[in-house]
Structure 1
Amino acid sequence: MHSQPISDIQPLADIILLLGEKVSKLITECRDFYKLEEEVYKLSQEACVKIFAWALEEIDTWLVNARDKRTWKVIGFRERTVVSSFGEFKVKRRLYRNKKTGEARFLLDEVLGWPERSRCTPRLKEMAVKLGSEVPFRRAAEILGYFVPGISAMAVWQAVQEAGEALRQEGESRREAVFEKGETPEGKEKTSRLYIEADGVVVRLQRSGEKRKEVKLFVAYTGKEAIGGGRKALKDKLVTSGVGEGERMWEEVYSGVASRWDMGQVKEIYLGSDGAEWAKQGVD
C-alpha cells in the first residue's frame, strides 16, 4: 500500500472539540472524585468509539480509491455491528463484486483480517478469552463490563468458542500435514531430551446429546527448573488438549512437538500417564 492524504479530518476535529467541551463542563460542575473519574472515562470511551468508526471508514475510503477498478465494482454499503474494547458501534463499509468471477467481498474486512461473523474485535476477543478461560462466562462478562459497556456472557462464550475452533483447526492442519500428506515438520529448537505427560479430565456438557466428555491433556517440556521456595517449573512448556480419539490426539501432539523441536536432535523421550489405554498409545 502507498500512502495518500486522509479525505477529511474535520470529523476527527469535531470529536476532539466535543470531548473538550464535555470535559470542561465536568470541571466546572463535578465535585466528586469517583464521579469525575467515571465520567471522564465514559467520555473518553465515547470519543474512542467515534474515532475508531471514523478510522475504519477512512480505510474503506482509501481502499475504494486504491482498488483495481477493472476488477472490483462497488455494489453498495453494508452495516456491521462492532463490539470493541471501547464499546459497541456500527460501521458502514463497501461491498464489492468481482467483474470477472461474480464473487462478492468486503475489502475492508479482508485487509484488516476481520472475521466475517465475529462481532467482537480481535483485541476484545483476546481479553474475553483470557478471562473466560479462567472464570465462569457470566463473571468474565461482569468484569469486562467495567471497561466495555454492554458485553454479555454469551459474547464471552462465543469469543472462547471461536478461539478454540481456530486452535483446533490449526492443530488438525499440522496433524494432516504430517500423517496424511507425509510432510516432515521442521522444528528449530534443539534439545536432547523431551518429557511428555498425558492425562484426562471428564467434564459435563451442556446443550449436547452427551452428558460427559473426557478432555485429553498433554504437556511437553524439556526439563524442570527451580523457581524458589522449593518449587520447580516446567521448562519450554507446550500444551495440547482436545476431545479426539487417543491415536488422533497423539498424532496432533507429535506434529506440534516436531514443529517446535528438531526431532533429529532428540535422543530420549519420556512419557508419563496414569495408565489409561489411550495414554499408552503415545509409546507407539
Structure 2
Amino acid sequence: MNILQQMLDKLWLDLTQNGEKVLHQELGFDDWLELTMSAGRSLCLNLIKFFLEEADRQFKASAIRQHKYTVKAIRETTKTTLYGEFTLKRTYYQSKDSQNYFFWLDQVIGWQKYSRMTLGVKARILENVATHTYQEALEMIPQVGIHSKTAVMKIVHQEGTRLPNEPVLKQKNKKRPIKALFLEADEDHVAYQDSTNRFMKLVYVHEGYDLTQPRHPLINPHYFTGNYPGTDNEELWTEVLDYIDANYQPEQVYLSGDGAKWIKNGAAFIPHCTFILDRFHLRKYCKRAAVGIAGLDRTLYQWALAGQTKFIRDYFTVRFNDPMVTAGQLQSLKQAEKYLTNNVSAIKDNGLTAYHGCSAEGHISHYLSRRLSSRPLGWSSAGAQGVARTRIFQLNGGNIARFLQAEQRQASKQAKVTKLDRRLHVKQNIKNKYYEQTQAAFSGHLRGHRSLWQHGLQTGW
C-alpha cells in the first residue's frame, strides 16, 4: 500500500505541476493531456505488475506448491501490451511428479511461450494489417514499442492464416427455408515473390439484394476466401456447403461468376444449384467479339441474353472469313466465340425472374484487390493468405482478439489432456512391465522349487 500511495502522490504532483504550466502558458493543453495519460498508463502497468508478482509470491508460499512443486529459479520477463511494456519477475518451478519445468504465472494467465507480445497486441496488428501496410500497422499503435516489420509478418503468417472462413457465431435459429439463395464467386490475381500470379478466391453467400436501400446492399452475406490450389476446389466448396446446410433449406441456389472451371465445379458440387454467367464478363467478351466494329458489342450483348445463338454463330462465321481481319483481331474473335458459345444457357438464365444479378467483380476490387494487388507488391503464400483471411474474418463479424483468446484456451486444455494421457500411458507401461517381470519370475523357476510367496499367491496362505 505504501508503494501504491507513493505512485499516486507522484502522479498527482506531476499533474498539478504541469497544470500550472498550462495556466502560465508554458505548456500546451494537449501536451498536458498526453503527459497525464502517459503517466496514467505507466501507473496502471506498474499496478498490474505488482499484483501479478504478489500472486506469484502467494502461490510460492502455499502448502500445495510446497507439496507438489520445487522452486528452481526466479526469472524476469518483459511483455508488450497495447499500453506499453512492463517487466516482472516470476518463479520457475519443477513438478515433483513429472519432473517438468514451468512458470505457474504464465500458465494461469495464458501467455504464449517465447512470445513477448500479448494476444491483444497481435489482434490489433492483424486488424491494422487488413487495411494498411506492415509499417503503417505498427505506426498506428506507437505504445507497443515494436519497430520491426518482420515481427508483423510473423504474426500474419502464424495467426492470420488460422482465421477461419466458417461462421464465427453459430446462428441460434434453426435452418430457415428459403426460395432462392445466391452464391457469387470470383478471384483476384495476386503477384507472388516467385514471379508468379495465383488466384486468391472469393465466394460469398447471401439472400439477395436489398432493393429498398440506395446502394442495394446484400442481405445476410457471408464470405469465404483463400488460396485454394487446383481447379476442383473441393475444400472451398465443402466449407460453403457446410455453411448453407447449417443455416438454410433453399429450394434453388444460383451461382454467378465468370465461367472459370473452379466456379462451374461449385455449381456441380452444391445441390439444386444453377450456374449463371455474370453480365460484367459477358459485356467484356462482347466487346472483344466486336473488335474492329464500333458499337456492335451492344447488339451482340442483346443477342446473347436473348439466346439468339444462330445470329451469334453466323456473325462469327462472317468475321472469320473476312480478309480484312488482322491476326490479333482473329485471336480475340476466337476467344470471344469460344466463351459465348460454351456458356449459352448460363448467359440466357440472366433473364430468370428470381435472379438479381452479380457484383463479384466489385467485391473482389473492394475487399481483396485493394490490399493484395492494387499496388506492385510481391507476396509470400502465407502473407497473402493471412491478409485475405483477416479482411474476410472481420467482414464476417469476427472478433480477432476473442478468437485468439479462445484458441489459446483450447490449446491450454489440449495440453492438459495430453499431459494426463501421457501420465496414464506411463502408469499403464509400468503396470504392464511389472506384470511381465512377475510372469518371467514364475516361469523362471522349476516346478516344486518356487519360493514361499509364489506358493502363497497360487494356493493361498
Q: Which residue of the partner structure matches residue 164 of structure 1?
A: 160
Q: Relative to structure 1, is the Cα distance of residues 216 and 109 closer, same or farther in structure 2, using a 3 angstrom cutoff? A: farther
Question: What percentage of residue pairs aligned between the two structures are identical?
Answer: 26
More helix by share: 2
Q: Which residue of the partner structure matches residue 253 of structure 1?
A: 240
Query: How far did residue 86 of structure 1 move?
Result: 0.9
How is 1:1-284 mapped onto 2 (pairs within 5 angstroms)?
Answer: 9-30=1-22, 31=25, 32-61=28-57, 63-64=59-60, 68-69=64-65, 70-145=67-142, 148=143, 150-152=145-147, 154=149, 155-167=151-163, 188-189=172-173, 190-193=175-178, 194-206=181-193, 209=194, 211-226=196-211, 228=213, 230-245=214-229, 246-258=233-245, 261-262=246-247, 265-283=249-267, 284=269
Query: How far did residue 35 of structure 1 move?
Result: 2.1
Q: Relative to structure 1, is the Cα distance of residues 149 and 41 closer, same or farther in structure 2, using a 3 angstrom cutoff? A: farther
SS in 2 for 1:118: coil
Q: Relative to structure 1, is the Cα distance of residues 276 and 86 closer, same or farther in structure 2, using a 3 angstrom cutoff? A: same
Contact 1:79 1:90 in 2 (8 A): yes
User: Over the residues paired in the alignment, what is the CA RMSD in angstroms?
Assistant: 3.1
Letter in 1 for 2:235: R
Query: How far did residue 187 of structure 1 move?
Result: 6.7
Q: Gapped runs of 5+ residues in structure 2?
A: 270-461
In structure 1, how many angstroms separate the alpha carbons of the residues matched to 2:251 and 2:104? Answer: 49
Q: Which residue of the partner structure matches residue 360 of structure 2?
A: none
SS in 2 for 1:281: helix
Q: Over alpha carbons, which structure has the higher Rg?
A: 2
Q: Relative to structure 1, is the Cα distance of residues 131 and 280 closer, same or farther in structure 2, using a 3 angstrom cutoff? A: same
Query: How far did residue 137 of structure 1 move?
Result: 1.6
> Could you give the per-residue CA deviations for residues 104-131 of structure 1, whole angstroms, max 9, x where no partner exists?
3333333333222433222232322221
Q: Relative to structure 1, is the Cα distance of residues 247 and 78 closer, same or farther in structure 2, using a 3 angstrom cutoff? A: farther
Query: How far did residue 133 of structure 1 move?
Result: 0.6
Q: Relative to structure 1, is the Cα distance of residues 110 and 241 closer, same or farther in structure 2, using a 3 angstrom cutoff? A: farther
In structure 1, how many angstroms separate the alpha carbons of the residues matched to 2:63 and 2:218? Answer: 50
Q: Relative to structure 1, is the Cα distance of residues 240 and 98 closer, same or farther in structure 2, using a 3 angstrom cutoff? A: farther
TM-score (norm 2): 0.48
Q: Which residue of the partner structure matches residue 337 of structure 2?
A: none
Letter in 1 for 2:205: A
Q: Relative to structure 1, is the Cα distance of residues 26 and 109 closer, same or farther in structure 2, using a 3 angstrom cutoff? A: same
Q: Which residue of the partner structure matches residue 6 of structure 1?
A: none
Q: Gapped runs of 5+ residues in structure 1?
A: 1-8, 175-185
Query: How far did residue 63 of structure 1 move?
Result: 4.7
Q: Which deviates more from structure 2 when the two are superposed, residues 40-49 or residues 157-166?
A: 157-166
In structure 2, how many angstroms separate the alpha carbons of the residues matched to 1:226 and 1:89? Answer: 53
SS in 2 for 1:235: coil
Contact 2:121 2:144 in 1 (8 A): no
Contact 1:133 1:160 in 2 (8 A): no
In structure 2, how many angstroms separate the alpha carbons of the residues matched to 1:272 and 1:82? Answer: 49
In structure 1, how many angstroms separate the alpha carbons of the residues matched to 2:254 and 2:60? Answer: 57
In structure 1, how many angstroms separate the alpha carbons of the residues matched to 2:177 and 2:223? Answer: 19
TM-score (norm 1): 0.74
Contact 1:85 1:123 in 2 (8 A): yes
- Give the length in aligned residue pairs: 254
Q: Relative to structure 1, is the Cα distance of residues 49 and 212 closer, same or farther in structure 2, using a 3 angstrom cutoff? A: farther
Point out which structure has higher relative CO (alpha carbons under 8 A, 6+ apart). 2
Query: How far did residue 68 of structure 1 move?
Result: 4.3
In structure 1, how many angstroms separate the alpha carbons of the residues matched to 2:182 and 2:137? Answer: 34
> Could you give the per-residue CA deviations for residues 2-39 of structure 1, whole angstroms, max 9, x where no partner exists?
xxxxxxx4443333222222222212334322321222
Q: Relative to structure 1, is the Cα distance of residues 231 and 107 closer, same or farther in structure 2, using a 3 angstrom cutoff? A: same
Contact 1:188 1:262 in 2 (8 A): no
Q: Relative to structure 1, is the Cα distance of residues 48 and 210 closer, same or farther in structure 2, using a 3 angstrom cutoff? A: farther
Q: Relative to structure 1, is the Cα distance of residues 39 and 101 closer, same or farther in structure 2, using a 3 angstrom cutoff? A: same
In structure 2, how many angstroms separate the alpha carbons of the residues matched to 1:96 and 1:251? Answer: 46
